[in-house]
Amino acid sequence: MAKKEILNIEIAERLVKVCVCEKKKNSQYISQRFMFQTPAGAVNDGHITDTGAVSAALRAELEERGIRCTQAVFSLISGRVGTREVNLPPVKDNRIKAIVEANVSEYFPVDMSKYHVSYAVQERIEKGDNAGVRLLVMIVPLQILEGYFEVAHEVGLTVQAIDYSGNSVYQTLRRMSNEEMTMYVDIECTTSSVSVLQNGKQLLQRTFTNGVDDLLSAHSNAAGHDGDAYLVALRELSNENGERFLSADETREALSRLVSNIVRIVDYFNSNNWETPVEKLVLTGCGCDVRGLREMVADATSLDTSTLKHIERVKAPGDIGEPLAHYLACIGSNIAPVDFVPPQYAEVKKKGMDLSIDFEQIGTVVLVLGAVMGVALSGWALIDFYSAKGDHRELQAQVDELAYVEDIYNEYTAYTAYADGLAALYALTENPNKDLVAFIGELEVKMPAALTVLSAGFSTTGVNMNMTVSSKEEAAMVISQLRTFDSLSAVEVSGVAEGADQAGTPQVSFAVNCTYGENPWLAGPEAAEEPPPQPPVEEPAEQPPAEAAEELTPAETAPEQEGV
């Protein structure tokens, strides 16, 4: 039986990577893997601007290695691919595509006639309050896709799929055993992607336009390499024992932007997932082995940092090229690629030949069969035709009857988005000090100038205060005013005592415990369950001698409170 080998190809601005893969049950066998330098100026952010140069270079590399495989899967790496995470209610798989296409203009406010849309299922929850389907919806300019089909045609390849590099990397990493919260950083020449996974579930994926390109350029200039030695510079920097043309400070400077972007994403994820922060960090990609990078990332993030050494369910000879960790996108594009093949190229993908030839062959077969069997089957054909026509009318009527379901779903999604927005907006207004600000404002307006606050203890639910005034009448007035505060739902008074200050001036000390909330008495007596408590009235106490009164201090006459 012939081998079912597929070429998995990633075409980036600086390097082209190729793997020859063969699926074997639940694993993959990679018989060959190699990379070569992309022709200068031939690729710009995923767009192949010079298909002739890329085709010639790819054809020469395949012929040099004797590779005869003609089936190809491309992994597209570009910042022009738009992505958005979408949550749908529980729906069947065969309904997802229609829903995505119906709502894609809401996800991406662009002219969709110039883009192709696809999606990948990230998670499905069948039961519970969070039941639904989590999707990663993607769009890519048709202009970019056309370049890949032109290259495939010029090299003599049949395009089986065009995958997005983010999905390719995820398909490879989700098979890894990562019970810890693990951040994988796939470092390429001009771009890098970050994926956070735990137990095969992807929680975050981000792409940024920094890689090891600055370091490679600085190394090439210092070593005197010409423009065609890009891959040579990468291999020299990946060799721990290789000659060093840059100082430690120059290396740190060249990698500073890359490391700062990694730190920024680590901080962003941890701030939004403080209960389950990143526990370890793994470097992958063609730039993961450059000297000094792992140590810089470990120091900047304070995380256990390593480079990927083994990929589960992938086998390959160990001496055929760079480490497998440099080819994550190529490997993953052979597992579950997204459908980035536009309709006009769909038949070419299925048949592996030109469309006009297919229709000519099909027409000939139909003509011969029609001439031989047309008379015998004409009667049955008419019956089947009218029967199918009737079935069509019935099905169309059912579709018309259920058309309202789409309107209901659109209203539901709009309401959900609106509700989520309101909840997020309200969450931004929540803070421990909002009630305190209202309370202080009323305190300044309603309290008499002669009031002295000895101490105050604040919490998220209320405030405790020790106060002094010159008489019991003023104390009663202060307590009555506190019970008119809009910002307080309850006021409790304790420890009312008379005394005198060091100058012999009479004073009354007392403690209040105020609770934040809406005042139930402002809406009328019927809004409260019982009458408001009245200020405590104490029997006149025997006045202490003047000497004793002088010895009393506010701290002794009022209950002890914890203050701020």
Q: What is the mean pLDDT of residues 428-440?
A: 72
Strand order in the sheet with 182-187: 201-208, 192-198, 182-187, 280-284, 304-307
Reduced to 3 states, what is the DSSP secondary structure of residue 323? coil
DSSP 416-454: HHHHHHHHHHHHHH--TTHHHHHHHHHHHHHS-TT-EEE
What letters, b where the CB count within 10 A reaches 16 and e where it falls short, cover 309-346? eebeebebeeeebbbbbbbbbbbbbbbebbbbbbeebe
State the Cα–Cα distance between residues 342 and 116, nearest whole angstrom: 6
d(CA 167, CA 336): 8
Q: How far is CA 486 from the centre of its chain?
A: 42
Cα Rg, the chain, nearest whole Å = 37
Phi–psi pair at 259, nearest 5 degrees: -65, -40
Instruction: Give 240-264 as a DSSP string.
Output: TTS---S-HHHHHHHHHHHHHHHHH
pTM above 0.75, yes or no: no
Tell me the one-letter amino acid at 433: N
So what's the pLDDT on residue 557?
40
What is the predicted pLDDT for the residue at 304?
Answer: 96
Distance CA 43, CA 10 (A): 12
pLDDT over 90 at 13, yes or no: yes
Find the mean pLDDT for residues 522-526: 59
CB atoms under 10 Å from CB of 536, counted, come to 13
pLDDT at 348: 54
Q: What does the alpha-carbon distance between residue 43 and residue 231 come to, in Å, rounded to a whole number?
A: 16
Q: Are 273 and 284 spatial neighbours (Cβ–Cβ below 8 Å)?
A: no
HSE-CB at 120 with a 13 A cutoff on CA atoms is: 23
Residue whose tokens read 């209610």:
89
Residue 114 pLDDT grade (very low, low, confident, very high; cuts 50, 70, 90): very high
Q: Is the separation of the CB atoms in 68 and 31 below 8 Å?
A: no
Mean pLDDT for the chain?
83
pLDDT at 430 over 70: no
What is the structure's pLDDT at 533? 52
The total of other beta-carbon atoms located within 10 Å of residue 246's CB is 19
Where residue 407 falls (left for φ over 0; alpha for ψ -120 to 50; beta otherwise) is alpha
* Alpha helices for 69-204 (secondary structure H): 93-107, 142-155, 165-173
Q: Is the pLDDT of residue 546 over 70?
A: no
The average pLDDT across 123-139 equals 88
If 0-12 CB within 10 Å is exposed, 13-18 middle and 19+ buried, where does residue 194 land? buried
At 317, the amino acid letter reads: P
pLDDT of 284 over the 90 cut? yes
Q: How far apart are CA 42 and CA 486, in angstroms?
A: 69
N residues, the chain: 564
pLDDT band at 404 (very low <50, low <70, confident <90, very high): low
Q: How far apart are CA 346 and CA 336, in angstroms?
A: 17
Helix (H, G, I), strand (E, B) or coil at 561: coil
Cβ atoms of 272 and 224 closer than 8 Å: no
Locate all alpha helices (DSSP H) within 65-110, ordered by sequence. 93-107
Tell me the CA end-to-end span of the chain in Å, nearest whole number: 82
- The CA–CA distances, whole Å, from 186 to 57, 212, 326, 328, 348 equal 25, 11, 8, 8, 32
Could you give the percent of the chain with pLDDT greater than 90?
49
SS3 call for 353: coil
CA dist., res. 70 & res. 89, Å (int):
41
Task: Categorize the per-residue pLDDT at 419 as very low, low, confident or very high, splitting at 50, 70 and 90.
Answer: confident
| pLDDT tier at 450, thresholds 50, 70, 90 | confident
CA separation for the pair 8, 334 (Å, rounded):
7
